[in-house]
Amino acid sequence: MLFSLNPEQIAIRDMARDFADARIAPRALEWDEKKHFPVDVLREAAALGMSGIYTREDHGGSGLGRLDAALIFEALATGCPCVSAYLSIHNMVAWMIDVYGDGAQREKWLPMLMRMDRLASYCLTEPGSGSDAAALSTRARRDGDHYVLDGQKQFISGAGNPDDFYVVMARTGEAGPKGVSCLVVEGGTPGLSFGANERKMGWNAQPTRAVIFEGARVPVANRLGAEGDGFRIAMSGLDGGRLNIGACSLGGGQSALDKALAYMKERKAFGKRLDEFQALQFRLADMATELECARTFLWRAAASLDAKAPDATRLCAMAKRVATDTGFKVANDALQLLGGYGYLADYGIEKIVRDLRVHQILEGTNEIMRVIVARGLVGR
């Protein structure tokens, strides 16, 4: 097993890092403060192939693997974890269309998603069913060649533009996971509306809203897969989503560590630069080691998903838990190293801490990651 990147992967990572340095990092604090969703910059990323990283090439995707995607999302997150995380969600939706859509669906939807003419959101979570996703209650009732959709989705990233694109898990049959189907709801559908933009601790550079369906008529032709396939589709998307959000956490943690290192080279106390104190050097060494350990494990999980290994879901759950916990801890430790300055918005670390905190909750909470791993261990 090789633990080094090949020249193509290095070039992919460096391209994403250069984009983050030039187009994301300089405005990340402004976007956070003003709660601005930088759609123009996202479309610039799309022009570089970052809107369909692991979507097939016949409709404009980049055709790369999950390890390549992890490199890209980590690099983008050094500029802003929030922006990188939204791009991950868009990629997950595009991948679902690519894998589970039929020929007509792929031809209709993928080109505009690759250009980000429409931005995509993933609608699984509901007000009454967060971690227990199989208990969702949004209902899709068959009426001729349409479904009539009623219900509400909660905490939907990127939602709110009436012209955008929503992949929705809805109940078409019995209780439990076998009664869930996957529907594409296009922006402008009558009966589709949105809640207010949520006030959040972090992730201010992307909107988060409830998505509400009141008698929304969705063509049966917009269903991905067969009736009852929706929960399986949702869970398969989450394996990759967990890797992506873990990579975003590592990028944020790395950025916080880099900011702390730069500060400590300049700041003096008791007649010495901060980076000359051995106790602080040990802290930095631990932070760098923890990031590298989490990164290496995330790459292993990504390789397993690329290989469709039987233990991929378990490894993705492990990697998500480790990477998101590690990224947040490193960012929080970096804030501490700056002392009072770390608490100020101008230095950028407090934003990273706020952004990374939610990564331990979304794409399945880290408690649920432990459930997935434990079930594999005890054979349930």
Q: Which whole-number Å values give the CA distances from 239 to 106, 192, 348, in the listed order? A: 21, 28, 30
Reported in sequence order, the residue ranges of 144-207 that DSSP labels E, i.e. its strands, are 146-157, 165-171, 180-186, 192-194
Candidates 126, 290, 350, 363; catalytic one: 363
Placement of tokens 């999950």 in the chain: 66
Residues 138/168, Cβ–Cβ less than 8 Å: yes
Residue 159 CA neighbour count, 13 Å, CB half: 26
Q: At what angle do helices 278-306 and 312-337 cross, to 10 degrees?
A: 160
Angle at 353 between CA 351 and CA 357, to 5 degrees: 120
Spatial distance between the Cα atoms of 71 and 75, rounded to a whole number of angstroms: 6
Q: Is 44 a catalytic residue?
A: no
Angle at 352 between CA 348 and CA 357, to 5 degrees: 155
Spatial distance between the Cα atoms of 328 and 156, rounded to a whole number of angstroms: 22
Q: Which two structure tokens, joined as six digits, stand for 298?
A: 């995330």
Q: Which two structure tokens, joined as six digits, stand for 199?
A: 């006030």
Please give the positions annotated as active site. 363
